[in-house]
Structure 1
């Protein structure tokens, strides 16, 4: 594709976004899909202080993303490692102005091929803000569950019985969603101290295996998602055209009515003038 063709596609997508403002995120996602490289993009998001950055650092094997007990990540950042673009997002529900949530949602909806919703198992069930996020994703595209995984973190901080209870509760909240249970700190310690037991107990190997299975499907997932977005845009455009035609037909009817009323008024005025002229013997 030449530069001029690229510009043409970009311009047309911009025009489409202007025509369908309610689908702006979908159209921008389509633009990303058309320009995507080979590397899968994995976004990690969730409430602040639930272990997003720690999980990413464990996956990458080095401390790339900031880890703190306070609100630290306030912008979207990314890092390429092992043929994957890892995306860290601001913590949800931490910024009273909502800017962090907006940035996180933009990264999730527009940039990512795979979405990891991180939830600290010690918090119990998913709260209102997390459920709101999931519903937003579902409204955007009901097929998000095919690329969304819920990562329960800090499983080393609860008993096995409590972990089972939390998993069962969340399964009831979000049926059919893939759930993995991990301890990033166990994994980091196992690698640092060369202890296979900690690594195996961390759940990180299973998480990595699942991500690898998704990575192998990225081309197919992108193609399928692109087709869905194009079809959705076509349907919405058809609805827009239908609405505009109805609006035009209505305005045309109104115009014809006004024209008829105008000539009726003209004819009425002509008759009155003629009658007045006859009375004055002018005709």
Structure 2
């Protein structure tokens, strides 16, 4: 069986290069790790979220300044999960950080945690655009909108902001959950189960568990990618054949018109002589 030349495919069809890159990654993947990546704008709590999920408070760097400038990973062999921390979007003027993040979530991620801080308010247009772009590459079941820093809003503020965000994402049909890593780690340190429950981290972990326990998820994605790419290539073939037929028709018409013009010219010459 001939190997697929993924490099040539990506160069030939740049409009679907991310889908091709994902298929290439899945085809070459040698381990069974389930990749979960965090994605979102700078300083919205991505690294803190991952620290809470892996249960190590300071594994991923957390600071007010930009610290994650390339993808960082933590592998939990016992659970079969690779956690991927990506740089904050729009934090790097040259866009190099964004390219690392996009590569992780489009090529490597089985599941994406799109992180937004509630203390900022509702989603901005850039975040909505990021979500819509993700949905052209992943299914809605592969994305969870994680709303962080719930503890930094008063109850009435939270209700207003959350209602606005729900309205913003109602058409994209992705799951969402509000969490507080601060409450979670305080609950752990104080052995306070109430604080841990109020953080909603247990609920998020259950949502993740339901995904990575689904053994056919990656196989289904692989099969769907092949179908999507084949469908795209078939449509491109039809488009090229249609354009070829139109060009041939145009050439035949030009040839007929040329013959008629020559015939008319010859008739005029004969009439004059």
Give the corresponding residue for 2:184: 187
CA RMSD of aligned residues (A): 2.7
Deviates more, 1:233-242 or 1:193-202: 193-202
User: Which aligned runs of 4 or more in structure 1 are off by greater than 4 angstroms?
Assistant: 250-268
**Shift in Å, 1:164:** 2.2
Q: Tell me if 1:149 matches 2:144.
A: yes
Alpha-carbon separation, structure 1, partners of 2:195 and 2:187: 5
Deviates more, 1:20-29 or 1:90-99: 90-99
Identify the match of residue 227 of structure 1 among 220, 223, 243. Answer: 223
Q: TM-score, structure 1 length as denominator?
A: 0.82
**Shift in Å, 1:256:** 5.8
Give the corresponding residue for 2:81: 84
Give the corresponding residue for 1:271: none
Deviates more, 1:208-217 or 1:157-166: 157-166
Alpha-carbon separation, structure 1, partners of 2:4 and 2:70: 25
What SS does the corresponding residue of 2:3 show, helix, strand or coil? helix
Give the corresponding residue for 2:129: 132
**Shift in Å, 1:111:** 1.0
1:42-57 equivalent positions in 2, closer than 5 A: 42-57=36-51
Give the corresponding residue for 1:206: 203
Give the corresponding residue for 1:66: 61
Deviations 1:109-143 (A, max 9, x none): 221111101111111101111111011112334xx
Give the corresponding residue for 1:279: none
Give the corresponding residue for 2:267: none
**Shift in Å, 1:103:** 2.4
**Shift in Å, 1:215:** 1.0
1:260-279 equivalent positions in 2, closer than 5 A: none
Alpha-carbon separation, structure 2, partners of 1:140 and 1:84: 21
What SS does the corresponding residue of 1:9 show, helix, strand or coil? coil
Deviates more, 1:149-158 or 1:248-257: 248-257
Give the corresponding residue for 1:167: 162
> Structure 1: which 5+ runs fail to align?
269-274, 276-283
What SS does the corresponding residue of 1:70 show, helix, strand or coil? coil
Deviates more, 1:83-92 or 1:245-254: 245-254
> Structure 2: which 5+ runs fail to align?
265-269
Is the 1:171–1:177 contact (alpha carbons within 8 Å) kept by the matching residues of 2? no
